[in-house]
Amino acid sequence: MTVVAPAPLADLVFERSDELSSAAHEQVVFCHDAETGLRAIIAIHDSRLGPALGGTRFYPYASEADALTDVLRLSQGMTHKAAAAGIALGGGKAVIIGDPRRLKTDDLLRAYGRFVDSLGGRYYTAADVGTTAADLDVVATATRYVTGSTGGTGDSGFSTAYGVFCSIRAAAEHRWGPDGLTGRRVGVEGVGKVGAQLVSLLVEAGARVVVTDTSGDSLARLLERHPTTTVRHSVIDAPIDVYAPCALGSTLHPSSVDAIRAEIVCGAANNQLSTSAVGALLHRRGITWVPDFVANAGGLIQVSGEVHERSADEVTAAISAIADTVREVLVRSDATGRPPGRVAAEIVADRLTAARTGDVA
């Protein structure tokens, strides 16, 4: 059981943290278990508001450096997500390097759980891309610092989708008035466990939905449930009103922004902007971007209910309240002329500063 970073990667921790934020990550743990083949990285970005919480992503990264970059960005995003949602939790994330279809075993998951446990509650894990509630059941045999297992609140996919839906609806009402989503064309990019449930909510709300996904199986399952849904090779450049990125991040970059025909961008994907400057590009084009760390906080709110022992009704109300935050961000953006991402970042910074000075619980 090894918790040592290879020297080149140890140097990258500080370089990448500085690129992402003026404040470096608090702790980055490199985990290796030779017997099971486990290679994982756990990153704790900020714990001023409470213990760090974030999912475990099991993904075949091209290199350990790519995995490190992803976990640093994702953990910082969790800090922003918790602060924007008003949750007393910090930001953390973990990645397991490799193809889950080949490498995932109960022994590997238990080994990973022992690493989580070694942090003594500084980090709580949950499901993410490549991991499920059933996987967390196995992890939970080695540590109690697990949320979202089948013995708890379960998979958080619907909660994430519902929070994104509330955000899209709030942005639509802000932009187009009380009719909101009725008859609007929404392009959903990625119809996995979050995107597919978002499609269901959108269809129920009267939206016309266009989808894309790299997985033919995911598309087939979706079309069985919603046969009127239109499938396209790409939705980011489609003639739609709302673009909802719900796969992996960084789909919004200077060249893709030029191709967007939607008036609203709001989805479940993390780290949607390739750089913060892209938010200003969207704003200059008159496109309303709902910051990802605001819109996709529903899953975090659900699993935080386990940590703080909140009732199901309290959790649902907190997820619904994401819409209030979206409205606050967009109204302040209109009033000040600043991009929504900058406004949301200011809200986060204020809450973290208050935590540092002891002005919040």
The tokens for 294 are 């605001």
Kindly list the domain boundaries of the chain, sorted by start residue.
Answer: 7-78+91-139, 157-350
On the question of a common fold for 7-78+91-139 and 157-350, the answer reads yes
pLDDT tens for 154-172 read 778 899 999 999 999 999 9
Q: Which of 81, 93, 104, 193 is flagged as catalytic?
A: 93
pLDDT score for 22:
45
Supply the mean pLDDT for the chain.
92
pLDDT score for 249:
84
Assigned CATH topology for domain 157-350: Rossmann fold (3.40.50)
User: Which residues contact residue 145 at a Cβ distance below 8 angstroms, ignoring those fewer than 6 apart?
Assistant: 116, 117, 119, 121, 123, 124, 125
* CA dihedral sign of residues 134, 92, 74, 80: positive
pLDDT score for 65:
96
Dmax over Cα atoms in the chain, in whole Å? Answer: 59
pLDDT score for 9:
57
Determine contact, residues 98/41, Cβ cutoff 8 Å: no
Task: Please confirm, yes or no, whether 104 is among the known catalytic residues.
Answer: no
Span 7-78+91-139: which CATH code? Answer: 3.40.50.10860
pLDDT tens for 208-266 read 999 999 999 999 999 999 999 999 999 999 999 999 999 988 899 999 999 999 999 99
Q: Round to whole Å and give the CA distance between 122 and 45.
A: 11
